[in-house]
Structure 1
Amino acid sequence: MKNSIFIIACFALLVSGCANELNRVYKSTDYDFRYEYAKQCFAQGKYGNAENLLIDLITLKKGTDEAQESLYMLAMSQYMNKDYETASETFRKFYTTYPKSIYAEHASFYVGQSLYMGAPEPRLDQTPTIGAISAYQTFLDFFPDSKLRSTAQNRLMELQDKLVMKELLSAKLYYNLGGYFGNVNSGTESNYISCIVTAQNALKTYPFSKWREDFSLLIMKSKFYLAENSTRDKQLERYRDAEDECYGFINEFPDSKDKELAEKYIAKCKKITKD
């Protein structure tokens, strides 16, 4: 017990000593000393301390090489502290301020990388994802021969998949809501239509998506159930449309596990349209 108290006391003194030292450095009017101390903190992975010092040094060292390096270290410190949104803005500021810097290439890459790290799961708003895609594309345009090119390209594909998945989840939600409600008046028709439109738009935007079959299946099923739940004056036309969709699905995905389902729908549609 005494040993534990001693260790805690020593730790408290150490933290207090570090805080006092940082405060002394922060108040120093020797800007070169503050700059070197900030670099030391950065090198030691004390990114919070480095960030606190670097914010002022950017202004205090304005017009010097140290100001340029301070801004880059500030952005990296924010990134390492997982403040990705702020880091992306600081990296962007660095790249636009110092486009010919030796750090410009990395700064451009890390604009996208910061947004990538902060991108949310597919169900949430994908504004950061779209921003990351744009930033990576800009990086590839300006630095086509960069060693980071393949990483940026892989990130782009991953981020685009996230946008596609968001559309797929939305289409599935509309489809499931269509099945949940029991009749046209309570929203079945509009939900199936929304599913069809969402899936069709996704296929136009992402024609080579690995989820192409999933979107196509949702369209086929939604068109069939839309016909099933339609009023009599709309049923014939919608059954014909559903039948065409089923044939299109089989032609495009002849080995699909859902081929039998498509054939089942075709048989039902033919029965209605021939009567």
Structure 2
Amino acid sequence: MKIRTIILCSAAFLLTGCASEFNRVIKSSDYDYRYEYAKQSFAEGKFTRAEILLQDLITLKKGTDEAEESLYMLGMSQYMNRDYESAAATFKKYFSSYPRGFYAEQAMFYVGQSLFESAPEPRLDQTPTIGAINAYQQFMDLFPYSELRSKAQDRLVELQDKLVMKELLSAELYYNLGGYFGNINDNSESNYNSSIIVAQNALKTYPYSNYREDFACLIMKSKFQLAQNSSADKKLERYQDAEDECYGFLNEYPESKNRELAEKFIEKCKKITKD
């Protein structure tokens, strides 16, 4: 028990001592001392302390090499503290201020990396995702031979997949809603029609997506449901369109897990189109 008490007291003393030292550094008018302490804190992974000191140093050291390094370390400290929005802004500021600076390549990469880390799940607004894509593309344009290029390319694939997934979820949502808000008529956009449009646009925008079959299947199912819910004067035309879509799906994806469904749709379509 005594040993545990001694250990706790020693830890508290050390923490208090460290805090007192940090407070002295903040209040010090010796900017070189503050700069060296900030660098030491950064090297030791004490990024919160480093960030606090560096916020002032980028102004106090303006016009010196230390100001450039301080700005880069500030961005990295914010990144390591998971303040990705601030980190992206700081790295952009660095590259704008020092386009030929020592850390220009890394800073430009970490603009994209910061936005990548803040990109939301596919169901949410993908503005940060698009921002990250643009940042990585700009990085590769500016530094085509960078060792970080392959990592940027991998990130781009992940971000593109996120955008594709958002479109797929949107198309699926329209399909699942179906005719929920009322019967389909000639003068209104149906949910099935919306599903078709979203899926077709996604196939054009992302021709090499891994989700091509999913989009194609949604188009096929939506066209069949659209035909089933059509008014009498539109029914035959839409069943013919749905039948053609099913054949097209089978030709492109002969081994699809949805092959049986496509064949079932064709059989039902033929009963209408042959009558």
TM-score, scaled relative to structure 1? 0.94
**Structure 1 partner of 2:210:** 210
Q: Number of aligned pairs?
A: 273
In the alignment, structure 2 segments of 5+ residues that lack a partner are none
Moved more, 164-173 or 189-198: 189-198
Q: Deviations over 1:193-216 (max 9, x none)?
A: 121111111111101101100000
Rounded to whole Å, the distance in 1 between the matches of 2:181 and 2:132 is 41
Deviation of 1:2 (Å): 4.3
Instruction: Give the direction of change, closer, same or farther, for the CA distance of 1:162–1:44 in structure 2 (3 Å limit).
Output: same
**Structure 2 partner of 1:113:** 113
Deviation of 1:103 (Å): 0.5
Rounded to whole Å, the distance in 2 between the matches of 1:3 and 1:233 is 90
Determine whether 1:172 maps to 2:162.
Answer: no
Deviation of 1:15 (Å): 1.9
**Structure 1 partner of 2:135:** 135
Amino acid at match of 1:241: D
Rounded to whole Å, the distance in 2 between the matches of 1:203 and 1:20 is 61
**Structure 1 partner of 2:261:** 261
Helix, strand or coil at the partner of 2:124: coil
**Structure 2 partner of 1:145:** 145
**Structure 2 partner of 1:44:** 44
Q: Deviations over 1:45-86 (max 9, x none)?
A: 110000000000000000000000000000000011111111
Rounded to whole Å, the distance in 1 between the matches of 2:122 and 2:18 is 42
Determine whether 1:249 maps to 2:242.
Answer: no
Moved more, 193-202 or 1-10: 1-10
Rounded to whole Å, the distance in 2 between the matches of 1:7 and 1:125 is 50
Deviation of 1:189 (Å): 7.1
Q: Within 5 Å, give how 1:58-77 maps onto structure 2.
A: 58-77=58-77
Deviation of 1:271 (Å): 1.4
Q: Deviations over 1:187-240 (max 9, x none)?
A: x97221121111111111101101100000000001101111122222122111
**Structure 2 partner of 1:99:** 99
**Structure 1 partner of 2:125:** 125
Q: Deviations over 1:26-54 (max 9, x none)?
A: 11111111111111101111100000000
Please give the root-mean-square deviation of Cα atoms over the aligned residues, in Å.
1.8
Deviation of 1:6 (Å): 3.6
Instruction: Give the direction of change, closer, same or farther, for the CA distance of 1:3–1:232 in structure 2 (3 Å limit).
Output: farther
Q: Deviations over 1:84-110 (max 9, x none)?
A: 111011011101110101210000000
Rounded to whole Å, the distance in 2 between the matches of 1:255 and 1:81 is 48
Is the contact made by 1:189 and 1:226 (CA closer than 8 Å) also made in structure 2?
Answer: no
Helix, strand or coil at the partner of 2:237: helix
Rounded to whole Å, the distance in 2 between the matches of 1:160 and 1:43 is 35
Helix, strand or coil at the partner of 2:207: coil
**Structure 2 partner of 1:78:** 78
Deviation of 1:138 (Å): 0.3
Helix, strand or coil at the partner of 2:90: helix
Q: Deviations over 1:3-35 (max 9, x none)?
A: 444433332222222111111111111111111
Deviation of 1:177 (Å): 1.8
**Structure 2 partner of 1:222:** 222
**Structure 2 partner of 1:12:** 12
Rounded to whole Å, the distance in 2 between the matches of 1:123 and 1:5 is 52
Moved more, 53-62 or 2-11: 2-11
Helix, strand or coil at the partner of 2:178: helix
Rounded to whole Å, the distance in 1 between the matches of 2:92 and 2:203 is 33
Rounded to whole Å, the distance in 2 between the matches of 1:133 and 1:37 is 36
Deviation of 1:156 (Å): 0.4
Amino acid at match of 2:238: R
Rounded to whole Å, the distance in 2 between the matches of 1:138 and 1:234 is 49
Helix, strand or coil at the partner of 2:73: helix
